[in-house]
Chains A and B, each alone.
Chain A
Amino acid sequence: MDIVGNVLPQVLKDEATEDKGEMARLQSFVGAIAVADLVKTTLGPKGMDKILKPTGPGQEMTHITVTNDGATILKSMYVENPAAKILIEISKTQDEEVGDGTTTVAVLAGELLREGEKLIQKRIHPQHVIAGWRIARDVALKRLRDISSENDINSQEFHDDLVKIARTTLSSKLITSDRDYFADLCVKAVLRLKGSSNLDYIQIIKLPGGTIRDSYLDDGFILKKQITIGCKRRIENAKILVANTAMDYDKIKIYGTKVKVNSMDKVAEIEAAEKEKMKHKVDKILKYQPTVFVNRQLIYNYPEQLLADSGITVIEHADFEGMERVAAATGAEILSTFDAPERSAQVLGHCDLIEEIMIGEEKMIKFSGCKKNEACTIVLRGASTHILDEVDRSIHDALCVLITTVKNKRVVWGGGNSEMQMAAACEEEAKKVQGKQAFAIEAFARALRQIPTIICDNGGYDSAELIQNFKVELQKGNQSCGLNMTDGTIGNMSELGVKECLRVKEQALMAASEAAELIMRVDDIVKCAPRKRERA
Chain B
Amino acid sequence: MSLAFDDYGRPYIILRDQGQKKRMKGLEAYKSNILAAKAVANTLSSSLGPKGMDKMLVSPDGDVSVTNDGATIVEKMEIQHPTAKLLVELSQSQDAEIGDGTTGVVVLAGKLLEQALTLLDKGIHPLKISDGFDRACDVAIKHLETISEEIDIQANEHEALIQAACTALGSKVVSKRKRELGKIAVTAVLDVADLARRDVNLDLIKIQTKTGGSVEDTRLISGILIDKDMSHPQMPKEVKEAKICLLTCPFEPPKPKTKHNINISSAEDYKKLYLQEQQYFVDMVKLVKDSGANIALCQWGFDDEANHLLLQNELPAVRWVSGTDVELIAMATGARIIPRFQEITPEKLGKAGSVKEVQFGTSNERMLVIENCQCTKAVTILIRGGSQMIVDEAKRSIHDAICVIRNLIKDNRIVYGGGSAELACAIQVLQYADEVSSVEQYAIRSFADALEGIPCCLADNCGLNPITSVAQAKARQLQESNPRIGIDCMELGTTDMKEQRIYETLSSKKQQIQLATQVVKMILKIDDVIAPDDY
Chain A: residues with CB nearer than 8 A to chain B?
2, 6, 8-14, 16, 18, 20, 24, 28, 80, 82-83, 85-86, 89-90, 92-93, 95-99, 125-128, 134, 197-200, 244-245, 250, 252-262, 266, 269-270, 272-274, 276-277, 324, 327, 333-337, 340, 343, 400, 403-404, 507, 510-512, 514-515, 517-519, 521-531
Contacts and interface: CB of A to CB of B under 8 A. Distances in A.
A10 B81 contact: yes
A252 B58 contact: no
Given A93-B387, A327-B233, A337-B305, A255 B56 contact: no
13 contacts: A16-B77, A99-B362, A198-B359, A257-B264, A336-B307, A514-B385, A518-B173, A518-B389, A521-B54, A522-B54, A522-B66, A523-B54, A528-B58
A12 B281 CA distance: 57
Which of A14, A82, A266, A337: most chain B Cβ within 10 A?
A337
Contacts of A245: 304-305
B267 A270 contact: yes
A9 B215 CA distance: 41
Interface in B54-107: 54-62, 64, 66, 68, 73, 76-81, 84
A518 B66 contact: yes
Main secondary structure of the interface of B (DSSP, over half): mixed
B176 interface: yes
Contacts of B393: 518
Given A98-B361, A250-B274, A518-B66, A83 B56 contact: yes
A528 B57 contact: yes
A259 to B, nearest CB: 5
Contacts of A272: 267
A522 B173 contact: no
A381 B53 CA distance: 53
A323 to B, nearest CB: 9
A324 B264 contact: no
Given A12-B77, A514-B386, A523-B46, A255 B233 contact: no
Nearest to B308: A336
A82 B262 contact: no
Nearest to B213: A97
Interface of B: 31-33, 35-36, 39-40, 43, 46, 51, 53-62, 64, 66, 68, 73, 76-81, 84, 173, 176, 211-216, 232-234, 252-256, 259-267, 270-271, 273-274, 276-277, 280-281, 303-305, 307-309, 311-312, 359-365, 385-390, 393, 462-463, 535
Contact of A524 (B53, B266, B305): B53
B77 A528 contact: yes
B77 A526 contact: yes
B534 to A, nearest CB: 9
Given A11-B79, A90-B386, A255-B253, A518 B266 contact: no
A511 B362 contact: no
Contacts of B389: 86, 89, 518
Contacts of A531: 60-61
Nearest to B60: A531
Ranked nearest first, the 10 interchain pairs of A and B with the lowest CB-CB distance are: A336-B308, A511-B386, A523-B53, A97-B212, A531-B60, A510-B214, A273-B267, A269-B267, A514-B386, A89-B387
A419 B273 CA distance: 70
Contacts of A254: 253, 262, 273, 276-277, 280
A58 to B, nearest CB: 22
A324 to B, nearest CB: 5
Contact of A9 (B35, B46, B390): B35
A329 B385 CA distance: 35
B525 to A, nearest CB: 18
Nearest to A396: B362
B263 A266 contact: no
Given A12-B81, A337-B281, A530-B62, 11 more contacts: A9-B36, A12-B78, A12-B80, A18-B43, A93-B386, A96-B363, A98-B361, A256-B262, A277-B274, A337-B312, A514-B386
Nearest to A511: B386
Q: Which of the listed residues B33, B308, B309, B365 has the most CB atoms from chain A within 10 Å of its own CB?
A: B308
A336 B234 CA distance: 13
A139 B390 CA distance: 22
A527 B58 contact: yes
Contact of B253 (A127, A253, A515, A529): A253
Contacts of B68: 521
A343 B362 contact: no
Contact of B262 (A90, A257, A521, A529): A257
Contact of A336 (B57, B274, B305): B305
A530 B61 CA distance: 6
Contact of B387 (A86, A199, A259): A86
A125 B463 contact: yes
B270 A199 contact: no
A127 B32 CA distance: 35
A530 B359 CA distance: 37
B154 to A, nearest CB: 32
B55 A526 contact: yes
B173 to A, nearest CB: 6
A128 B491 CA distance: 12
Contacts of A89: 64, 387-389
A82 B81 contact: no
A260 B263 contact: yes
Contacts of A93: 211-212, 386-388
A14 B58 contact: no
B263 A403 contact: no
A253 B303 contact: yes
Contact of B55 (A9, A340, A519, A522): A522
Contacts of A97: 211-213, 360-362
B262 A514 contact: no
Contacts of B76: 526, 528
